[in-house]
Amino acid sequence: MTRQSPRVLALLAGLTLIWGTNWPLFRVALAELPVLTFRSIVLTTAIVVLYVVMRLRGEALAVPRGKWPILILASLMNLTVWNIATSMAVLYIPSGHASVLAYTMPLWVALIGFVVFRQPLTGRLLAAILIGAAAVVALMAPNFESYAGAPWGLFWGLLAGLCWAIGTFVVKRTSWPGMGLSLTFWQVAAAWPPIVLGAVVIDGPPTHLPSALVMAATLYTGAIPMALGTAAWFALVKLLPAQVAALSSIAIPIVAVLSGMILLHEPLSPLQAVAIGSTVISLWLALVPGRSVG
């Protein structure tokens, strides 16, 4: 344990609670708001909150010279695709199931590390990937009969996890001198124009005012999970190796599934429960090193 361990544990616990309980709110908000309109309000709220917090902390907004292209790429992977893909996933399958697919990110991190960065693929890691793939199949199998759009839910959920993994490597393997909360602020800000433009072109102007519950869920999603949760995530990426930082995602889908069951009465079959448990085992194998012998 190092001096940073209490801080890391606090970030992990807070992130798990904030992001895990937020998934059912997606479905609540999307019952009345189109996907891109919802995400536009979320990102706008996050930008305002992050800007205020940065000003209160006296942090600079400056981006180091030559970092804008890589910052735009990080924003595209971590936020633009993520915001769209996760919102689309919960339109086709239960929110808890969508979260399990999106939080296969650590397995994508392991695969990308092996293929792109030549990190060794141990037997433990290979077992994690195989168990994780089997868990995804088991999770989605009942949905293909219960939900007509389940294949699209599978596609959008896995796309979110893959792009998040790519974005994690982009952030982790880039030096960001002098950037604290501004790293989160500018990624959110860079994701704002394409999503807002999409909302204007695709969703069109709003035809009615959303209910107070939907607006509360949307504003909360922007202020807490998007602004503060994303800032906590990038802090973890800076503090820890990429695969270890991904440890924060192990418990989040479980919290999301439980939240969906409690708040939205979403179903959970025995096979899906086994799939979720297998996902946890898979992520544990991928992220926690085995004991050395001798």
The predicted structure's pLDDT at residue 19? 87
* Residue range of the domain that includes 113: 5-287
Q: Looking at the domain assignment, is residue 294 inside a domain?
A: no
Q: Looking at the domain assignment, is residue 36 inside a domain?
A: yes
Q: Looking at the domain assignment, is residue 132 inside a domain?
A: yes
Segment 259-276, tens digit of pLDDT: 877 877 777 777 767 777
Mean pLDDT of 84-105: 83
Q: Looking at the domain assignment, is residue 283 inside a domain?
A: yes
165 with 112: CB under 8 angstroms?
yes
Q: Looking at the domain assignment, is residue 51 inside a domain?
A: yes
Q: Looking at the domain assignment, is residue 39 inside a domain?
A: yes
> Whole-number mean pLDDT of the chain?
83
Mean pLDDT of 165-179: 92
Mean pLDDT of 117-134: 75
**Secondary-structure breakdown of the chain: helix, strand, coil percentages, each rounded to the nearest 5:** 80, 0, 20
Alpha carbon 233 to chain centroid, angstroms: 9
Percent of the residues in the chain that have a pLDDT greater than 70, as a whole number: 86
Angle at 165 between CA 259 and CA 77, to 5 degrees: 95
Q: Looking at the domain assignment, is residue 292 inside a domain?
A: no
Least confident of 93-102, 119-128, 165-174: 119-128
The predicted structure's pLDDT at residue 143? 67
**pLDDT surpassing 80 at residue 230:** yes
Least confident of 93-102, 152-161, 219-228: 93-102
Q: What is the DSSP letter of 204?
A: -
The predicted structure's pLDDT at residue 246? 64
Domain count, the chain: 1
Between 175 and 269, whose confidence is greater? 175
Residue 139: CA atoms inside 13 Å, Cβ hemisphere, count? 31
Q: Looking at the domain assignment, is residue 293 inside a domain?
A: no
The predicted structure's pLDDT at residue 285? 72
